[in-house]
Amino acid sequence: MKDLIDKIQKARFIWVCGNGGSASTAEHLTNDMYSKNYPAICLNSNVSIITKTANDSGYKYIFCDQLSVYANKEDLLITISCSGKSPNIRKALEFAEIEGLMVYNFDTFKDGSKNYERLEDEHLRLVHRIKRKL
């Protein structure tokens, strides 16, 4: 947790993304950071860019294409995914690694578990802990 807080406080800008239920958690985290005056954007919130990119390039590029236009090396990418295997999340992480962005990944399934409810609850608790620490 301290590592994440340090990255948030150090970042020029924070990019957050997730899929499905994790997309809602990503929006919640972005809203909480905004309320604490941290510059953050949720990459899964711009429907027109997402649908344009999915149509023209493919769904796996919906996050990394946005990052390629807006992000720089002083930024932080936070990904929220239960499986960690979503192609769009993986492409965003690849982009961040190549471009030298800081990265933080919320925990994914461990030991073969597929308990979405438990993991999504843990992710939301982490969002609330982050807000209290900022």
What confidence score (pLDDT) does residue 107 get? 85
- Global pTM value: 0.95
CA distance 50 to 60: 10
Domain residue ranges of the chain, discontinuous segments joined by +: 2-133
Percent of the chain exceeding pLDDT 70 equals 99
- Predicted confidence at residue 89, as pLDDT, reads 97
CB neighbour class for 79 (10 Å; exposed up to 12, middle 13-18, buried from 19): buried
Q: Which residue has the tokens 């933080």?
A: 104
- The CATH H-level (homologous superfamily) assignment of domain 2-133 is Glucose-6-phosphate isomerase like protein; domain 1 (3.40.50.10490)
Report the alpha-carbon distance of residue 118 to residue 128 in Å, rounded: 16
Express each pLDDT in 73-96 by its tens digit: 999 999 999 988 899 999 999 999
**Mean pLDDT value across the chain:** 95
Asked if 64 contacts 91 with a C-beta cutoff of 8 angstroms, the reply is: yes
pLDDT bin (cut points 50, 70, 90) of residue 112 is confident
At residue 1 the predicted structure's pLDDT band, cuts being 50, 70 and 90, is confident
Q: What per-residue confidence (pLDDT) applies to 110?
A: 78
In what helix (H) or strand (E) does residue 40 lie, and over which residues does it extend? Answer: strand 40-42
